[in-house]
Homo-oligomer: A and B are copies of this chain.
Amino acid sequence: MESGSHSSDIVFDVVATSELERAIHDRLADHELRYTSGRRAIVEGLRRADGPITLPELLESSPDLAQSSAYRNLSLLEDAGVVRRLVHGSEHAHFELSESLTEHHHHLICESCGLVRDITLDDTLERTLDRSFDQLAAVEGFRPTHHTVDVYGVCGDCES
């Protein structure tokens, strides 16, 4: 059960990863940016993370990254539509792969420790929300591009 036990996961992972890598490579190329090892490390760090993470957390998971380059590349990746920056109350911004590379989702945010976890709403509810937003936006003269739903609370670890 040892030598072959993980093979299917790995194959799947490799395929999925290479598709992701190609998509990212193309987006960067569209913006005349190279997909360098430092940028790959950032993407890998975000992909491995269990939800959106801060820059210090990213550096911890990839110690060879220089702080300024990581910040600079996160901004470039954001401009290229590869990364999304989340700004909540906590001191550091959180970063995750763009929804166009993963899937539409929302966030659960711990008000005590700042932890952010992903959640998804069911499609029916999402459609209802979209319809409401379109109507409301029309009344206000807005052209809506996207929406966020954040649920604040206290996570299990912080619940004393």
Give chain B residues whose Cβ lies under 8 Å from the Cβ of A145: 111, 152-154
Tell which of B88, B147, B154 touches A152, judged by Cβ atoms closer than 8 Å: B147
Q: How far is the CB of A133 from chain B (nearest CB, A)?
A: 5
Give chain B residues whose Cβ lies under 8 Å from the Cβ of A146: 152-153
- Is A70 close to B, CB under 8 A? no
Whether B149 lies near A148 (C-beta < 8 A) is yes
Whether A119 lies near B147 (C-beta < 8 A) is no
A12 to B2, CA, bound (A): 61
Tier of interface size on chain A: 35 or more
Copies of this chain present in the complex amount to: 2
Whether A140 lies near B108 (C-beta < 8 A) is yes
Give chain B residues whose Cβ lies under 8 Å from the Cβ of A14: none
Whether A153 lies near B149 (C-beta < 8 A) is no
- Is A144 close to B, CB under 8 A? yes
Interface string of A147-160 (1 = CB under 8 A from B): 11111111110010
- Is A141 close to B, CB under 8 A? yes
Give chain B residues whose Cβ lies under 8 Å from the Cβ of A88: 87
Contact segment of A22-30, A37-45, A121-129: A121-129
Interface string of A65-99 (1 = CB under 8 A from B): 00000000000000000000101110000000000
The 7 closest A-B pairs by CB, nearest first: A141-B156, A144-B153, A142-B153, A147-B151, A119-B136, A148-B150, A133-B151
Q: Residues of A with Cβ closer than 8 Å to B?
A: 85, 87-89, 108, 110-111, 117, 119, 121-122, 125, 128-129, 132-133, 136-137, 140-156, 159
